[in-house]
Structure 1
Amino acid sequence: MNDFGGDVELRRLIDRQAIHDVVLRYCRGIDRMDLEAVRACYHPDAHDEHGSFAGTVDEYLAWIGRLLPRYTSTMHLTGNHLVDFRDDTPDLARSETYGMAFHRSADPSPRGNLITGFRYIDDFARRDGTWRIAHRVATTEWIKIDDPTTQWPIPTTMRTGHRNHTDAIYAPWPNT
């Protein structure tokens, strides 16, 4: 028996949501350049294979810490998300997430202004009651150059996102 009275389907529904939340928190961490939030999505001994990179979590964070500042903004959108649980081990799951990532740079180079289609194939493990990524393979499905001359400037009167802790998502909750 588990804390759901033996209801495996309810447990798996809750686990699926917890795993999906990790993927979404990872995307937020990347887009806000919050590397500690990204780190929290992985187990300390995790491994990541991401494009031309393969290595430990610390090595991955150092790698993206050098790459992300070249962009003025990134935005990751996720779509299809499927989770399969290991029948023999309830604390292991594999997740596949389809997504698109938008990269913007003040540099007109195509390397700085592109849209990519990707998939995350994540092996998740629940340790001490928490689901985190144990191994990730990020595939690139396609890349499209995004001509920066076709982008409209954002009016200075509009609130914009920030790639640090001054972003609105980190603002204190109002006392209402």
Structure 2
Amino acid sequence: MPTIEARIARLEAESQIRQLIARYCFTIDDRDIAAIRDLFAPDAVLKSADGVMNATGVDAIMAQYDGRFDALGPGHHFMHDVQLDFVGDGSQHATGRVIGHAELWRNGQMMVTAIRYDDTYRNTDAGWKFAERTIAFLYYVPIDKYPNILSTPLRNHAYAEPKPADFPERLPTWIAYEKSRGRG
């Protein structure tokens, strides 16, 4: 059984990572560029499941955010559930999945999106940072399309033409289940 010190260290690490995730939401919504930069390890990767976003290193990540912010007006990010798994003794590395949603102004209209982040965290001299963050969307739609959006796989309306959602239909577990039920 782990020592009380190791258990406390694990709880402190979890708290620090949860704070990192919360700071991400506030700094993105506030366009606090210096604080956004500080969230990522120097060699971090930020990408999207659809491949539109793909940056390595803090400078490239910040340039990518400049492009995102050019397309977005005000927004409000909400994170709902966080699943953390520590690697090894948990003192240096962890992985996580975060689900949430955002309300955004994009393309001249109010939009809402359901988000899933797949993260890797690293403990640095400056505390826990994102080492890798991949964003995926269940949907990204104008508010008026929201009521029926789950009836179609074409749920990403962030671009000129609707695209398939990143999940769940592409997940191996979803595909296997649907096949087991004679669908798909």
Q: Output the TM-score relative to the length of structure 1.
A: 0.71
Matched residues, number: 139
Match of 1:76 in 2: 77
Aligned to 2:149: none
Are 1:118 and 2:118 counterparts? no
Q: Which residue of 2 aligns with 1:128?
A: 125
Unaligned runs of 5+ in 1: 148-176
Rounded to whole Å, the distance in 1 between the matches of 2:141 and 2:33 is 26
- Give the structure 1 partner of residue 104 of structure 2: 103
SS in 2 for 1:46: strand
Letter in 2 for 1:141: L
Q: Deviations along 1:100-143, whole A, 9 cap, x unmatched?
A: 011025824xxxx2111111111111122611011111111222
Greater RCO (Cα-Cα under 8 Å, separation 6 or more): 1
Whichever residue aligns with residue 54 of structure 2, its letter is A
Give 5+ residue unaligned stretches, structure 2.
Answer: 145-184
The DSSP-based 3-state class of the residue aligned with 2:120 is strand
Shift of 1:89: 5.5
Give the distance between the partners of 2:71 and 2:86, measured in 1 at CA. 38
Secondary structure, aligned partner of 2:79: strand
Pairing of 1:155-170 with structure 2 (within 5 A): none
Residues 35 and 65 in structure 1, CA contact (< 8 A), matched pair in contact too: no
Matches within 5 A, 1:20-169: 20-50=18-48, 51=50, 52-56=52-56, 57-88=58-89, 90-105=91-106, 107-108=108-109, 113-128=110-125, 130-147=127-144
- Structure having the higher helix fraction is 2
- Provide the identity percentage: 24
Maintained 8 Å contact 2:10/2:90: no
Judge conservation of contact 2:27–2:36 (CA < 8 Å) in 1: yes
Q: TM-score when scaled to structure 2?
A: 0.69
